[in-house]
Structure 1
Amino acid sequence: MEDIYLFRKELQNLGYCETVTNTYPRQIRVFLEFIKKENTAIKSEDILNYYNHIKTVKGKRTKKPFPNTRPATEKDFSLQRFNHPK
């Protein structure tokens, strides 16, 4: 989980607000616990599966599912979309 710590520090260095520097790393940790894989083994399909999973989770405050959005596709989470090398 040192990678998550380094990510948090990078967010702070880039000047992101405290909410972002706390929330983003926490959500990444939740995602990694969900997929149970090493960071380097994550595929677009894993992100898609997690995205579709969280659409079924009820919010803690409202006890309702998160707002419906269009169904996610593999293209939505492809590495090319984010301009990252494979």
Structure 2
Amino acid sequence: MEKVYNFCDYTSKTSERSLRESLGLITGGVTPLSENGEQQWPNVGKEASFVFLDASCSAEAIARMPKSRELMHKGNLFKPLDE
């Protein structure tokens, strides 16, 4: 998350669309919405590896860098180290 946050800051990406599309840089190209705004992730049968954040959308997660995060890796939940 820090890498994509820094990239967007350095390249002056501020629109919801540019922030959302930048997420693909750290997810192997996978983003929740396609270029047309259609849901493409998550889907049934896909690997359950993702990060839980306190944000209303992916653009907000990038722009505001939520402090609280939890990791789900292949269906296993990992609690933050500070708990």
TM-score range, shorter chain: under 0.3
Larger % of strand: which?
Answer: 2
TM-score normalised by structure 2 residue count: 0.27
TM-score, normalized by length of structure 1?
0.27
Higher helix content, 1 or 2 = 1
Larger radius of gyration: 1
Structure of higher RCO (CA pairs closer than 8 Å, 6+ residues apart)? 2
